[in-house]
Structure formats: C-alpha cells, structure tokens
Homo-oligomer: A and B are copies of this chain.
Amino acid sequence: MDDRNQDSYGGPNLQRSTLEPLRTRWTPKPEQILILESIFNSGMVNPPKDETVRIRKLLEQFGSVGDANVFYWFQNRRSRSRRRQRQLQASLMADPRAAGAAQHAGAAATSSSSNSPGGGFFACASSPSAAASSSSSDFVIDDSADDLFSISRQMGFVEATQTPPFTCSSGVSHLHIQPGQSVHGFGVSDTIWPFP
C-alpha cells in the first residue's frame, strides 16, 4: 500500500463494531510504538521527510497511519523528552536526594529491564521492500537520545494478531538517513518586511 492516506480510522481496539467512519485520532498500535520508539532511541530523533515517509510505510504494515502522524509523533516525542529532561534537571537541582524519584513516570520498568539510558534499548530497522539504499550517511546522534521510559501504556502486551514480516535487529540499527536535501536556492525577501 503506497497510499499515505492519513485516515486514522482504525484504532487498535476502536474498530470493535465494524464501524469505520468514526474519525478518531490515531492510536498507534503497540508494534508501531515499538518501531517508532526504537528509531527514536537509535538516535534518529528528527527524521527528515524522506525518512518519515519510509517510517510511515513501515508502520503501515500494522495499521493505517499517515505521514503527519509520524511527523507529529516525533515532534511530540522530542518536545516531551526535552521537557522531562528539564523537569528532571530542575528537580535534581532543587533536591539532589530526589534523584531516584523520577517524577511519576508511567513506566514501571525503570531499572530492571531497560538498558543504557542513552542509546540502545532496542533498535530495529527493516524495509519490507526497496533495499536499494547505497550510501550510508551516518546520522548524527545529537547528544542525548534522552528519555526512554515512557513506553508504557499501549505496549504492555504486544499481541501481534498477525504480524507481517517485521524484523528487528537488536543492537544498533542500520538506519541511514539522507542528509542531502532541499533545493532551496534563493532567500529573497523582497516584498516582505524585515520587521519593525
């Protein structure tokens, strides 16, 4: 399916009664969250357009999703991570003893199951088709692949009803991004006013 219709009609459990025209907001499926999460944690916190499309296609194997959803997801993810980080910092600054009390995070797997808080965790990368990639430009791991415990709710049970070919390579992913972009040529601002 190469259509990227952004209909988010099919929620995970929302389609309980063969009623589809219920336009709700996109509710990512556990598998989708897993994929997104791994991509994010593998360092690609801000995928460019083309990557976003690719990711969307990947996710589409598990349910309807649009590019916009993917875009929003990453944006929210970044924003949220940053905010949490800041709050945590503030908390620590206020009271160093409160180190162990990470807010109230919905995640319960703080220490036992998670890995190094800055990298791996789990990463996956797989293209169902189109492996015509060649040049592997390394992505830039900004600095902190921050927050990782947040994947609580919907991922509790990955009940893959019938998971299409979806492979996950543990370790560091092979996600390759394409830095080259934008045909932006001229930055003329003739009729626009600079600003008062």
Copies of this chain, complex-wide, total 2
Which bucket holds chain A's interface residue count? 35 or more
* Inter-chain contacts of A26 with B (CB < 8 A): 103
A64 CB to nearest B CB, Å:
9
- Are the CB atoms of B68 and A6 closer together than 8 Å? no
Q: Is A91 an interface residue (CB 8 A)?
A: yes
Closest residue to A64 on the B side, CB-wise? B101
Q: Complex: how many Å from CA A8 to CA B193?
A: 13
Closest residue to A97 on the B side, CB-wise? B3
Q: A23-B103, A23-B104, A104-B23 are in contact. Are A67 and B193 (CB under 8 A)?
A: yes
* Inter-chain contacts of A193 with B (CB < 8 A): 6, 48-49, 52, 66-69, 71-72
A49's contact among B7, B72, B195, by CB below 8 Å, is which?
A: B195
Q: Is A4 an interface residue (CB 8 A)?
A: yes
Q: Complex: how many Å from CA A5 to CA B193?
A: 11
- Are the CB atoms of B7 and A102 closer together than 8 Å? yes
Closest residue to A10 on the B side, CB-wise? B196
* Inter-chain contacts of A5 with B (CB < 8 A): 91, 95, 98, 101-102
